[in-house]
């Protein structure tokens, strides 16, 4: 009986995996002479000029079967979801070129790639170019910070999970434009440390503390105050810091807002056991729909 239950459960998981895979189309786009692959989900129920969310996997990750929770939210809310595949660095790991020591020799301009991919999808699918959003986890989150610094006008809002501002970002660029931005981060994350890593003890390169990275965005938005609330408890306590009333108002809508979800005791993850992370990201993006 026990073996039968296990086999049945495995069959259900296998069916779900196949169904999930069939939701996506695998496509390619050429960038800087390289054929780049991405996965594309277009919901059955869609509104004219529907929104686009581009979601970036972490270091060493892959686009295939990435974050099915976000796919379900895309299906229910009628937005297009694109999950591109990061390139391999010379040392063999896939990812987004943010200058890790392990990415030495990597030459891809991934900010330009993500922006070109967005513009191509907007044109091909008749999307609303003003309703395009970028999110990602860890290395993908760092791409959100870097894109917001280099090309803040390309996406309407950004969402990072366990992402960092590398010290070289911080030294080289300043925020040219206020952007709505969300960060979800565990304060016990030993991979992307809450307190920063100025001496590169973790091997990822030097990066600044998470609260300082967020305050950089808050300052650019000229927010005037912070509201602090606790999310309903699931496992670890999550404190939401909302930085509000930025004088740099979003055109045609509310003033720019920056959010920091502090997962107390949270490790390096999407924090799905602590909060409904994908839902929170989409609900934040919805604030800026035009």
CATH of the domain at 122: 3.40.50.1820
| Residue 12 belongs to some domain of the structure | no
pTM value > 0.75: yes
Q: What is the rounded distance in angstroms from the CA atom of residue 113 to the CA atom of residue 110?
A: 5
Counted domains in the chain = 1
Residue 218 domain flag: yes
Instruction: Give residue 14's pLDDT.
Output: 42
Q: Is residue 268 part of a domain?
A: yes
180, part of any domain: yes
The Cα 224–Cα 209 span in angstroms is 21
In a domain? residue 74: yes
Concatenated DSSP letters of 24-60 = EEEEEEEETTEEEEEEEE--SS--TT--EEEEE--TT
The predicted structure's pLDDT at residue 253? 60
Which of 269, 267, 271, 280 has its CA nearest to residue 234? Answer: 271
For the chain, 290 residues long, give each residue's pLDDT as a single digit of tens. Answer: 434 433 433 433 343 444 445 589 999 999 999 999 999 999 886 566 789 999 999 999 999 999 999 999 999 999 999 999 999 999 889 999 999 999 999 999 999 999 999 999 999 999 999 999 999 999 999 999 999 999 999 999 999 999 999 999 999 999 988 999 999 999 999 999 999 999 999 999 999 999 999 999 999 999 999 999 999 999 999 999 999 987 655 555 668 999 999 999 999 999 999 999 999 999 999 999 98
Spatial separation of the C-alpha atoms in residues 55 and 140, rounded to whole Å: 8
Q: What is the pLDDT of residue 117?
A: 98
At residue 6, the pLDDT reads 39
Q: Nearest CA to 223 among 196, 242, 205?
A: 242
What domain range includes position 170?
Answer: 19-286
Residue 5 lies in a domain: no
User: What pLDDT sits at residue 47?
Assistant: 63
Q: Which of 128, 169, 137 is nearest to 152 (CA)?
A: 169
């Amino acid at each position: 009986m026990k073996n039968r239950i296990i086999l049945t459960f495995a069959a259900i998981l296998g069916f779900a995996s196949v169904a999930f895979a069939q939701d996506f189309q695998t496509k390619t786009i050429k960038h800087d002479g390289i054929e780049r692959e991405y996965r594309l989900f277009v919901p059955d129920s869609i509104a004219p000029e529907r929104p686009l969310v581009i979601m970036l996997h972490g270091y060493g990750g892959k686009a295939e079967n990435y974050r099915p929770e976000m796919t379900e939210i895309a299906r229910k809310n009628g937005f297009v979801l694109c999950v591109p595949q990061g390139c391999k660095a010379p040392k063999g790991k896939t990812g987004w070129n943010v200058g890790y020591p392990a990415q030495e020799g990597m030459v891809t301009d991934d900010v330009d790639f993500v922006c070109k991919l967005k513009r191509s999808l907007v044109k091909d699918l008749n999307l609303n170019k003003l309703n395009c959003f970028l999110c990602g986890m860890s290395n993908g989150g760092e791409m959100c910070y870097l894109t917001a610094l280099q090309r803040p006008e390309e996406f309407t809002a950004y969402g990072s999970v366990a992402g960092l501002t590398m010290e070289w970002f911080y030294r080289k660029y300043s925020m040219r434009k206020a952007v709505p931005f969300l960060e979800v981060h565990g304060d016990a994350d030993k991979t992307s440390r809450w307190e920063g890593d100025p001496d590169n003890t973790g091997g990822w390169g030097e990066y600044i503390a998470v609260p300082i990275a967020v305050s950089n965005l808050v300052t650019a938005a000229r927010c005037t105050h912070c509201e602090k609330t606790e999310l309903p408890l699931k496992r670890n306590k999550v404190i939401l810091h909302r930085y509000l009333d930025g004088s740099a108002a979003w055109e045609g809508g509310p003033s720019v807002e920056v959010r920091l979800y502090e997962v107390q005791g949270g490790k390096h993850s999407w924090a799905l056991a602590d909060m409904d992370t994908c839902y929170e990201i989409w609900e934040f993006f919805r604030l800026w729909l035009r």
